A and B are shown apart, each in its own frame.
Chain A
């Protein structure tokens, strides 16, 4: 089992588990990048997932919360482990088949005015975090904060709520026409 302590560096966790991949990748947003954080790989280790959940929970322990919600798939396990430490419910939001929006299954009832925290593995554009936020607000909840393991914009991401990340990394994203990896002929991998 990969060992982690409460001081192990986030980037180190991604590196040692093989979750930090380098190459030439096409992101869901359409941009190109040379490195990619595959969080599903680190979430395979229950002790690591728990340690990350503990660290996020630590940053919100003084905030009154009713539930944590994570957008599928990246935020689902993180939501479960964070909620466990905070002693609150864990919900998930998923993409609707028809529109590009997210929804919450009717089984997970949100009461009017409940306070929630949104968690996500990696924030790049912030789009899925905002979709999960809208889904939970639509169900009656009130967003009090957002957390992620990594902010890929080097800490420059802004949300209309308090945002606390575990690590800020600046990883350049290139427009397809201006990608140096394309120019040097490295084959592109869709992720």
Chain B
């Protein structure tokens, strides 16, 4: 485990943002662990420390805009924008920004807290390119995709660390098989993450 991963895992563990157990996620599939980063990112000082941990590769990206498709990642995205002095935009479903258009020559760094399926990154890419911006790279705190290779659809994904998640169909779930009671990830958590398919 490298230093960055170690620092971030500590922050996530200390704030209770990492959970192990038996969970049903938005897609209806089961998993044995999940992160709710808002538990960490609600502390401005800790959000800033999280950015400290993986900021150095971010400042080498040729971008001039930070965009996040997720309300829970605002503290992270804004902190990156503040340090780089790049501009900043937030657009999270189901809200809409009327007539939004990026300035000419906008190159966007898309920021997300946790990426599991990649659907929120795809939403971000579509939203930005429909509004005249080019994707420069992605920055995520925890990349839970398997075999991601550190990129998404041809662009670099800078991540704090990778922790590929195993998801199971309910009838193939080992925890179900062992009759471990299912912890429904709270309805609030589910209703939000369903929209982005995370």
Chain A residues with CB under 8 Å of chain B are 1, 40, 43-47, 49-50, 67, 72-73, 76-77, 80-81, 83-84, 87, 89-92, 94-97, 103-109, 189-191
Given the complex, which residues of B lie within 8 Å of A94, measured CB to CB? 71, 192
> B19's closest neighbor in chain A, by CB?
A107
10 closest pairs, A vs B, by CB? A107-B36, A106-B186, A84-B44, A107-B38, A46-B82, A107-B39, A89-B42, A46-B81, A44-B87, A73-B95
User: Are A77 and B38 touching (Cβ within 8 A)?
Assistant: no
The reply on B75 being an interface residue by CB < 8 A is yes
User: Are B39 and A43 touching (Cβ within 8 A)?
Assistant: no
User: Are A90 and B82 touching (Cβ within 8 A)?
Assistant: no
- Which residues of B from 99 to 117 have beta carbons under 8 Å from A? 100
> A79's closest neighbor in chain B, by CB?
B74
Chain B residues with CB under 8 Å of chain A are 17, 36-39, 42-45, 71-72, 74-75, 78, 81-82, 85-90, 92, 94-95, 97-98, 100, 186, 188-189, 191-192
Q: Cα distance A105–B92 when bound, in Å?
A: 15
Within the complex, the shortest CB–CB distance from B175 to chain A, in Å, comes to 21
Q: Cα distance A91–B40 when bound, in Å?
A: 11
Given the complex, which residues of A lie within 8 Å of B95, measured CB to CB? 72-73
Within the complex, the shortest CB–CB distance from A101 to chain B, in Å, comes to 12
Q: Cα distance A87–B45 when bound, in Å?
A: 8
